[in-house]
A and B are shown apart, each in its own frame.
Chain A
Amino acid sequence: MSEVEIESLSKSYGPIEVLDAVTLRVERGTTTAVVGSSGCGKTTLLRVVAGFDSPDAGTVSIAGALVARPGRVVPPHRRRVGYVAQDGALFPHLSVAGNIGFGLRGTRSGDRARSGRRVAQLLEMVSLDESYARRRPHELSGGQQQRVALARALAREPEVMLLDEPFSALDAGLRASTRKSVAQTLDAAGVTTILVTHDQEEALSFAGQVAVMRAGRFTQVGAPEQVYHRPVDIFTAEFLGECVLLPAVVAGGIADCALGRIPVRANAFEGPARMMLRPEQIVASDPGEDPDGRKTGTVTATEFLGTQALLDITLDSSPTHIRVRQAGTRTPAVGSLVAIEVLGEAEVFPVANRNG
């Protein structure tokens, strides 16, 4: 049995249906990222699991115990969940130790020494020095605040950790490092985790399972590689990263398109299709003397991004524009001729599938 089971969960605010029969299973000790654009319902989903909101239909179970069904909910303080909000929501009137100990004292007898040891232990878990215990929340950086919030949520040894965009308030450099340390901490603690985010890169790198949400429904739930490389529809494909989309005709495991004949996965359908490639699957290189049957094109614009470069290329054989992402070490000049190669398989969607 899964640690968290969300079954056909629905929730409306007035006429707006925020969650539409959402079903999700999160296995014990794993991490799931729910990713979607703002207003897609992902935060509401998390709030229902936490107990801050109640569902209109459907059920939520945590560790085998039913915690929410329409008309009956377990209040948040009786669920064994940890919750880390976007801004950390540290209590400004308490020190770091007071914040971390807030949930401890209610559950165990007020043994000060033991609580102090536990605070130190938790600080160590989130890689903060013991000296931070006496500090006030406003004396911490954003990343430190988030780590204290995590330690505070871990203190009660929750069955499930719920993270509501906990990194989005941090600046770019801090975000990546905080994300990594939080992921390691949660992994070491073995806590089942649900992360809600609008950042697809965060979702793909953080979680073992990614659930892509759109308008109150999941479009796809799967491993990061699967949802990235094998998206079920064009919405999911475009949401998770840049795409090169070309018209193609599929026959016998091959998609025939402006870039040539490209293999697709074995059990794909046949007929006219829209074909999707990730920009990093396309390699543009110096054609040399002989393009050797490769398609060629002319670079019309380049955008240098540091480690990578984006190339806009117009194919010579047909008036098709494609965008290529490759290492920024040797960027071809604008106007130069390049040969184009495609790595790996393409994903194809039936033509009518534009809107997922």
Chain B
Amino acid sequence: MIAPTLVRPRSGGSERRRVPPVVAAVVTVLVAVTLIPLGYVIATTIATGWETASALIFRPRVGELLRNTVALVVITVPVCMTLGVGAAWIVERTTVFGHRYWAPILAAPLAVPAFVNSYAWVSVIPSLHGLWSGVLVATLSYFPLVALPVAATLRRLDPGIEESAGALGAGPYRVFFRIVVPQLRLPILGGGLLIGLHLLAEYGAFAMLRFDTFTTAIFEQFQSTFNGAAGSMLASVLVLCCLVLLVAEAAARGSARYARVGSGAPRRPDRIRLRWSAVPAALGLVALTVAALGVPLWTIARWLRIGGTDVWRTGTLWPAFAQTLALGLLGAAVTTALAFPVAWIAVRRPGVFSRMVEGCNYVTSSLPGIVTALALITVTIRYANPLYQTVIVLITAYVLMFLPRALVSLRSGLAQVPVGLEEASAALGRSQASTFVRVTLRLTAPAAAAGAALVFMAIVTELTATLLLAPIGTRTLSTRFWSLTSELDYAAAAPFALAMILLALPMTYLLMRQSQKAAGL
């Protein structure tokens, strides 16, 4: 054989622990950018000074906003949890009429942005406003965030455990509350946290219902005084609320894990035969479908009928559609590409650094879009003025807000590529680069595509950050929809709502598939 040349192994005996420089550089820059929103909040609070800050924070208006926001979270989250668990359980574990076809109802409402839902309900009941209307719309928009992961977990529960409980003398109710619900703790808490964060971050839905939360107040403040201290202080309180939610969820989750003990593949759980309760169960699902999907679709249809052909001829629909598509594709591509090194570090080099990277990401993506947007505006105006109001800043905001959606998918995809396959490729004469392209990238491609699709869906239906950051002249479906509804031209807004739903709908299927896979991890 040809005597091969000896090369220096990457850092002696610990070459398997090393992070390639390109990956390290990308991740480090990403972390630095990730820290901008939190840094902005802390820096402005310090710069404002205690006296001004306390004067701005401890005033009746903030108290009112806090009461509103807390009430919204405290009421909506448990309602969503109950509704989500109930719907998921009926769909997954009972013989409810047509149980094979109900599964999409647990995901499809996510295709209707919350502000479109508000628009629909306000159209049906024009007097709708205040806390309870907010609870109604938020529940219908966000309950899938609990229902989806719960359904996925229900499908994977080992029926043997329930059977054992039955054999130990527990009746069906006792089995449900003592055995099934505790095993659903993680998806319920995780979904509840997501709903809480959405409630804190949502602007459009509550503004339309004339219900004031921190986010709507910050937005109004920003529109009147651009970037004043009052808005920044409200943002600080909002960030504090987010952190409270994150800590509360982490504490409630504890360190408990509900992994199945034992080996072998679990059987699929049996469905519970419903007798007299089959009718109310089916009616409940029908009512939920009507409220969450029927009302928005019917409203859009009604406005389209009223608007006739005129609303399609405004000349702004197709440019907005094209711009949204372009922003969505670009944002999804950039976010997924950046998620790759983060996922790689998390899967292949787990350790303090990878946990720190993920932690920063998690906190930043949990912050309301309005805080991220304000932070990026402030930083670009002060330090990178040429970037202000460019697509680059908008895409950066999307990356910061939606990176975890790509990450979750990529991580599990990458985890399914055993190191053994890469070693096998190396032993078969492939260089590292060739191995990455022909084995690793090839095998993670489906996961990357799924992650990109979810980011795309989030961008298409994003309103708050897009309103604040979009370059002048940019009209996306959501911003155009928003300005038309602000002018109370509900008929003209209908095609935009329909376009957003149609773009997002296919992605909800992916979301459904992903939650099913994630429950197995």
Contacts and interface: CB of A to CB of B under 8 A. Distances in A.
20 contacts: A51-B427, A52-B426, A54-B15, A65-B4, A67-B4, A73-B9, A74-B4, A75-B7, A75-B426, A75-B431, A75-B432, A76-B426, A76-B427, A79-B4, A82-B427, A83-B427, A89-B423, A103-B428, A149-B424, A156-B428
A159 B423 contact: no
Residue picked from A52, A67, A80, A159, most chain B C-beta under 10 Å: A52
A78 B432 CA distance: 11
Contact of A83 (B7, B8, B15, B424): B424
For the complex of A and B, 8 pairs with smallest distance between CB atoms: A103-B428, A83-B427, A72-B6, A76-B426, A89-B420, A89-B424, A78-B4, A54-B9
Contact of B13 (A12, A66, A72, A87): A12
Contacts of A11: 13
Contact of A102 (B4, B418, B428): B428
Interface in A48-84: 50-56, 63, 65-67, 69-83
Interface string B410-446: 0000000010110111111111101100110011000
Given A51-B426, A77-B425, A77-B427, 7 more contacts: A54-B15, A74-B4, A74-B7, A76-B426, A87-B418, A91-B424, A92-B443
Nearest to B428: A103
A56 B9 CA distance: 11
Nearest to B435: A77
A85 B8 contact: no
A12 B14 CA distance: 10
A159 B439 CA distance: 24
A352 B418 CA distance: 47
B427 A93 contact: no
Given A67-B4, A69-B6, A153-B427, A93 B442 contact: yes
Contacts of A74: 4-7
Given A54-B9, A54-B12, A72-B8, A106 B427 contact: no
B175 to A, nearest CB: 36
Interface string B334-377: 00000000000000000000000000000000000000000000
A72 B11 CA distance: 10
A106 B15 contact: no
A71 B8 CA distance: 6
A81 B429 CA distance: 9
A85 B420 contact: yes
Given A91-B421, A92-B443, A153 B428 contact: yes
Nearest to B15: A54
A159 B427 contact: no
Interface in B475-513: none
Interface string B1-24: 101111111001101100000000
A48 B3 CA distance: 18
Given A56-B13, A80-B1, A89-B420, A102 B7 contact: no
Interface in A146-189: 149, 152-153, 155-156, 159, 162
B11 to A, nearest CB: 10
Interface extent on B, as a size class? 20 to 34
A52 B424 CA distance: 10
A329 interface: no
A91 B435 CA distance: 11
Residue picked from A67, A103, A156, most chain B C-beta under 10 Å: A103
Contacts of A109: none
Contacts of B421: 89, 91
Nearest to B438: A102
A78 B4 CA distance: 7
Contact of B427 (A50, A53, A72, A87): A50
A67 B4 CA distance: 8
Given A66-B6, A72-B7, A106-B434, A77 B426 contact: yes
Interface string A104-130: 001100000000000000000000000
Nearest to B14: A13
Interface residues of A, number: 45
A77 B429 contact: yes
A67 B6 CA distance: 7
Nearest to B421: A89
Interface in A183-208: none
A70 to B, nearest CB: 8
A54 B427 CA distance: 15
A71 B439 CA distance: 28
A85 B423 contact: yes
Contact of A77 (B1, B9, B16, B431): B431
Contact of A71 (B5, B9, B435): B9
B9 A83 contact: no
Interface in B1-49: 1, 3-9, 12-13, 15-16
Nearest to A78: B4
B350 to A, nearest CB: 16
Contacts of B432: 75
Contacts of A12: 13
Contacts of A156: 428-429
Contacts of A65: 1, 3-4
Contacts of A51: 426-427
A73 B7 contact: yes
Nearest to A63: B1
Given A76-B427, A159-B1, A91 B7 contact: no
Interface string B249-274: 00000000000000000000000000
Contacts of B12: 54, 56, 70-71
Contacts of B7: 72-75
Contacts of B1: 63, 65, 80, 159
B428 A53 contact: no
A229 to B, nearest CB: 36
A22 B95 CA distance: 64
A246 B520 CA distance: 54
Contacts of B425: 77, 91, 102
Contacts of A50: 423, 427
Given A53-B16, A69-B6, A107 B418 contact: no
Contacts of A67: 4, 6
A80 B428 CA distance: 9
Contacts of B435: 77
Nearest to A79: B4
Contact of B418 (A83, A89, A153, A155): A89
A87 B426 contact: no
B9 A72 contact: yes
A80 B435 CA distance: 17
Nearest to B427: A83
Interface in B381-433: 418, 420-421, 423-432
Residue picked from B8, B425, B429, B434, most chain A C-beta under 10 Å: B429
Contacts of A55: 13
Nearest to A55: B13
A75 to B, nearest CB: 6
Contacts of A56: 12-13
Contact of B423 (A83, A92, A107): A83
B443 A93 contact: yes
Given A65-B3, A67-B4, A91-B421, A103 B429 contact: yes
Nearest to A87: B420
Residue picked from A82, A92, A155, most chain B C-beta under 10 Å: A92
Nearest to B425: A102
Contacts of B430: 77, 102-103, 106
Contacts of A93: 442-443
